[in-house]
């Protein structure tokens, strides 16, 4: 469901107008020690867990669910669906497909659906496994071999309002397993307080998945 905002009386109207097309991009090292250990014990795949963690944070905070309807009106989605890249079985590492899995709060149900969508997308032979992607979506990608450096930038153009999340490769430091997470936010609707809240909540959610 999409709820149209009363823009003329919206408290954030001036900020939105000033920063309408501005992006904030930030990379943060997130502690995933518990989740990593649980995945290594078996029975849990890391990528679906990472997708779920981001989806849970985004869906738990209305600041990350702004968007536009087909008439271009600003509003809030009641739920966002994560769509994510999946390497294709044929074509080497340079080809990928994009799949979407509807978010549900139950992790086991989401993970099972996500794994089914991943398997189908790996062999679909095209960019979009589901075409078109859902309007109420936000993007996720994963480069497990990438070491993302801490980086922050503001000023790039961003037309949409939903976050985009890029996961890097897990590495060990001082006995902890850290995951570099890059995320792009629309400054029109997200400020530093929202960005900080996103990463704090993501670490909490991924940590909760690592609990026995």
User: For the segment 19-38, what is each residue's pLDDT rounded down to a tens digit?
Assistant: 999 999 999 999 999 999 99
Q: pLDDT of 83-138, one tens digit each?
A: 999 999 887 668 999 999 999 999 999 999 999 999 999 999 999 999 999 999 99
Model pTM score:
0.94
Q: pLDDT of 36-62, one tens digit each?
A: 999 999 879 999 999 999 999 999 999
85: which strand partners? 98
Asked if 170 and 32 count as a contact pair (C-beta separation under 8 A), the reply is: yes
Q: Which helix (H) or strand (E) holds 85?
A: strand 81-87
- The whole-chain average pLDDT of the chain stands at 93
> Which among 59, 99, 107, 60 has a CA at the least distance from the CA of 80?
59
pLDDT band at 149 (very low <50, low <70, confident <90, very high): low
CB atoms within 10 A of CB 164: 18
- Predicted confidence at residue 90, as pLDDT, reads 83
CB atoms within 10 A of CB 175: 6
Of all residues in the chain, the percent with pLDDT exceeding 90 is 86
Q: How far is the CA of 125 from the CAs of 57, 84, 112, in angstroms?
A: 31, 16, 22
Rounded distance, CA 2 to CA 122, Å?
31
Q: pLDDT of 4-14, one tens digit each?
A: 999 999 999 99
């Amino acid at each position: 469901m999409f709820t149209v905002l009363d823009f003329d009386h919206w408290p954030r109207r001036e900020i939105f107008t000033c920063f309408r097309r501005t992006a904030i991009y930030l990379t943060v090292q997130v502690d995933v020690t518990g989740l990593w250990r649980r995945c290594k014990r078996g029975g849990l795949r890391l990528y679906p867990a990472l997708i779920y963690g981001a989806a849970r944070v985004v869906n738990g905070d209305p600041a990350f669910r702004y968007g536009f309807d087909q008439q271009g009106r600003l509003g809030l989605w009641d739920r966002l669906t994560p769509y994510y890249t999946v390497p294709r079985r044929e074509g080497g590492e340079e080809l990928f497909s994009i799949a979407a899995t509807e978010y549900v709060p139950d992790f086991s149900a989401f993970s099972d659906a996500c794994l089914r969508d991943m398997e189908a997308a790996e062999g679909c032979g095209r960019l979009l496994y589901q075409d078109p992607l859902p309007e109420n979506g936000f993007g996720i990608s994963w480069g497990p071999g990438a070491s993302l450096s801490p980086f922050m930038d503001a000023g790039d153009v961003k037309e949409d309002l939903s976050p985009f999340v890029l996961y890097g490769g897990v590495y060990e430091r001082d006995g902890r397993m850290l995951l570099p997470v890059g995320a792009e936010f629309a400054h029109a609707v997200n400020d530093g307080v929202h960005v900080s809240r996103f990463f704090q909540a993501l670490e909490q959610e991924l940590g909760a998945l690592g609990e026995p």
